DNA sequence: ATATATTATATTGTAAGCGATTAAATCGCG
DNA sequence: CGCGATTTAATCGCTTACAATATAATATAT
């Protein structure tokens, strides 16, 4: 009885055109922010010769390495079709190693090279630099993060 | 004196590692949500033979057409390098017309065809369908939208 | 043990997305 | 008027992004 009540809530309580505007605004806002963030990170990451998605992969690896491709994929919500060539580029530029798991030759283990480890220190100042560019007080950032995370939780249930 | 105080606020009040985690979480969350939304829209838009960015362009045009490329670009925060081929694809599939402004031959005016107008009715149910898939009550959606819009406002000031 | 199914990753094709460059039209100043 | 500066859009090169398909290794069933 609760399963699809939000339908009724959404559909019945306000007129549909209002809902339409609201939803479009929300999705569009996410689209805009995501692209804007990528553009903001670009110049900051350029000295490290990383793109923004590559930086995200490195962040995950700096937290714990080595990891399997599948782990990276689910952690980042990245498709293999995206992740595969991305990791290969990181390998070609010497930040990452790709080795088959001897236990299970299907699996690919992604590890950090010395250069990949070293990059971590070079990247250490980036979050502060970005947060200064964004220029919002910390409590506001926390509020946004929590709202976005709640939303992410809601929609990633549907994806399964 | 107020210009870069957020720097001090951010840097001094909490330890840097906390800020780092927070910022990374936030950027990662936006990245994930945006991609997840695109994936959710995909199957819903497929019957209309539209991609999500194409749908965004059509939404803007349905609101008011014709419009210049520059107007579309700034409204959507899309680069010309993205918008140019996208609009050409919409033209090729017969939803949109591209004509030079006779007053100023540099400008390209994008208008709707009959098919483009007609698509509007076909697309009318999409926001409701999506909001049901998302499955959050309306007040929560409003809260997320406002948080994301505040954030967008903060970061789009920095651009340029 | 062999055939079949499943799993993990890679590849391909199409469409964004963006920085850098280019080209054409218009503007503005001498 | 003429000519350099600006504006508007297109193009190119490279990197995501993702669905669909392919491939190889392991697991399961018979």
The burial of A110, by beta-carbon neighbours within 10 Å (0-12 exposed, 13-18 middle, 19 or more buried), is given as buried
At residue B2, the pLDDT reads 42
Question: Which chain B residues touch A51 with a CB distance below 8 Å?
Answer: none
Low pLDDT (below 70) residues in chain B: 1-15, 157-160
Tell me if A36 and B159 make a contact (CB, 8 A cut-off).
yes
At residue B110, the pLDDT reads 97
B42 vs A: CB within 8 A: no
- The pLDDT tens digits of the residues spanning A27-52 come to 999 999 999 999 999 999 999 999 99
DSSP string, B78-95: --HHHHHHHHHHHHHTTS
Q: Where are the domains of chain A?
A: 39-124, 125-160
CATH number (3.90.1150.10, 1.10.10.10, 3.40.50.410, 1.10.150.80) of B48-158 reads 1.10.10.10
Say yes or no to pLDDT of A14 above 90: no
At residue A39, the pLDDT reads 94
Can you tell me the mean pLDDT for A86-97?
97
CATH number (3.90.650.10, 1.10.10.10, 3.30.230.10, 1.10.3720.10) of A39-124 reads 1.10.10.10
B120 vs A: CB within 8 A: no
At residue A139, the pLDDT reads 87
At residue B158, the pLDDT reads 60
Write down the mean pLDDT value for chain A.
Answer: 87
Can you tell me the mean pLDDT for A123-142?
89
At residue B135, the pLDDT reads 86
Tell me if A138 and B9 make a contact (CB, 8 A cut-off).
yes
């Amino acid at each position: 009885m609760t399963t699809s009540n939000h339908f009724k809530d959404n559909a019945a309580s306000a007129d549909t055109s209002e809902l339409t505007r609201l939803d479009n605004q929300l999705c569009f806002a996410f689209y805009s922010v995501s692209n804007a963030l990528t553009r903001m990170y670009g110049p900051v990451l350029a000295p490290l010769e990383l793109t923004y998605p590559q930086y995200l992969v490195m962040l995950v690896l700096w937290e714990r390495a080595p990891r399997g491709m599948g782990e990276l994929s689910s952690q980042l919500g990245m498709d293999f079709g995206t992740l595969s060539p991305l990791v290969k580029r990181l390998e070609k530029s010497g930040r990452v190693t790709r080795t088959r798991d001897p236990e299970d030759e299907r699996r690919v283990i992604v590890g950090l090279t010395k250069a990949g480890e070293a990059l971590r220190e070079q990247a250490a100042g980036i979050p502060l630099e970005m947060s200064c560019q964004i220029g919002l007080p910390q409590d506001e950032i926390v509020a946004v993060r929590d709202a976005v995370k709640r939303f992410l939780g809601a929609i990633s249930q549907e994806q399964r």
